[in-house]
């Protein structure tokens, strides 16, 4: 940065040394002027003090200007160009295989976290099933968007997905030792029944004073 200001590091350090000498000289002449016995000697020493003090102030001002220029150039300096990421050709077989491997690992982690103490009577209490669904949606999106999925070691991907979905990393570290969820863990969730279509009133219109009947979108 100093090169851009046409000043070397040695010269910048010299400014600090010069300021220190100017300050020392100003103090020296000030002390002698105060101790002088004749007015003429005191005036001469006072002028010497003023010159040393002015030189000190100018040196400080120059250092401050250099500091401002360096700060301005730092702000205006363009960001270094980021290296372009290499193009990764899409390998659907590799991506699908890795998604299946990660799904197996994460299902074990989820089951270790949310295995119910007793059989569920209400599907709304099925926390494991909820996290299974979240996992499936995450892996679907990841598989669609990440051509490099499956290039890293499997354990790295397991840890990364565990963190992304905020599961227990302690279980992720030993996922191979965890049991698979039992078949009954996958509860079939019935699809929500569609709403009945709104009645078609044809050209009928409500009589005056009757509140309007809104037709549904069906």
Q: Tell whether 200 is covered by a domain.
A: no
- 23 and 106 share a domain? no
What letter would DSSP give residue 4? G
- 117 and 71 share a domain? no
- 143 and 177 share a domain? yes
**pLDDT score of 24:** 87
- 10 and 47 share a domain? yes
Q: Which residues of the chain have pLDDT under 50?
A: 1-2, 4, 190-196, 198-207, 209-218
Q: Tell whether 131 is covered by a domain.
A: yes
- 97 and 179 share a domain? yes
Q: From the CB of residue 98, how many other CB atoms can be counted at a distance below 10 Å?
A: 22
- 181 and 107 share a domain? yes
Q: Tell whether 119 is covered by a domain.
A: yes
Those residues whose C-beta lies under 8 Å from the C-beta of residue 57, and which sit 6 or more positions away, are: none
- 98 and 180 share a domain? yes
**pLDDT score of 46:** 84
- 9 and 63 share a domain? yes
Whole-number Å distance between alpha carbons of 99 and 140: 8
Residue that is last in its domain, among 49, 76, 103: 76
- 107 and 46 share a domain? no
Q: Tell whether 159 is covered by a domain.
A: yes
At residue 192, the 3 state secondary structure works out as coil
Which residue pairs, CB below 8 angstroms and at least 24 apart, start in 114-123?
A: 115/181, 120/187, 123/187, 123/189
Residue 147 structural domain? 92-185
At residue 131, the 3 state secondary structure works out as helix
**Total domain count, the chain:** 2
Whole-number Å distance between alpha carbons of 22 and 24: 5
Whole-number Å distance between alpha carbons of 212 and 201: 12
Q: Tell whether 45 is covered by a domain.
A: yes
**pLDDT score of 187:** 61
Whole-number Å distance between alpha carbons of 148 and 198: 49
- 69 and 96 share a domain? no
Q: Tell whether 143 is covered by a domain.
A: yes
pTM of this prediction?
A: 0.49
- 97 and 181 share a domain? yes
- 110 and 36 share a domain? no
């Amino acid at each position: 940065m100093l090169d851009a200001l046409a000043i070397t590091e040695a010269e910048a350090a010299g400014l600090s040394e010069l300021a220190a000498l100017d300050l020392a000289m100003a103090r020296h002449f000030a002390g002698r002027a105060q101790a002088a016995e004749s007015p003429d000697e005191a005036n001469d020493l006072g002028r010497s003090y003023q010159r040393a003090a002015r030189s000190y102030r100018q040196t400080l001002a120059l250092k401050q200007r250099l500091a401002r220029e360096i700060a301005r150039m730092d702000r205006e300096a363009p960001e270094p160009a980021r290296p372009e990421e290499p193009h990764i050709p899409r390998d659907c077989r590799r991506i699908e295989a890795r998604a299946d491997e990660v799904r197996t690992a994460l299902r074990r982690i989820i089951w270790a976290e949310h295995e119910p103490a007793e059989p569920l009577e209400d599907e709304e209490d099925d926390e494991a099933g909820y996290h299974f669904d979240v996992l499936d949606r995450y892996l679907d999106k990841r598989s669609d968007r990440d051509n490099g999925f499956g290039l890293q070691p499997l354990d790295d991907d397991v840890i990364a997905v565990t963190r992304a979905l905020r599961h227990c990393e302690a279980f992720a570290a030993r996922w191979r030792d965890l049991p698979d969820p039992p078949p009954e863990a996958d509860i079939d969730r019935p699809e929500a029944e569609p709403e009945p279509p709104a009645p078609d009133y044809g050209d009928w219109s409500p009589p005056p004073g009757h509140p309007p009947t809104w037709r549904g979108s069906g």
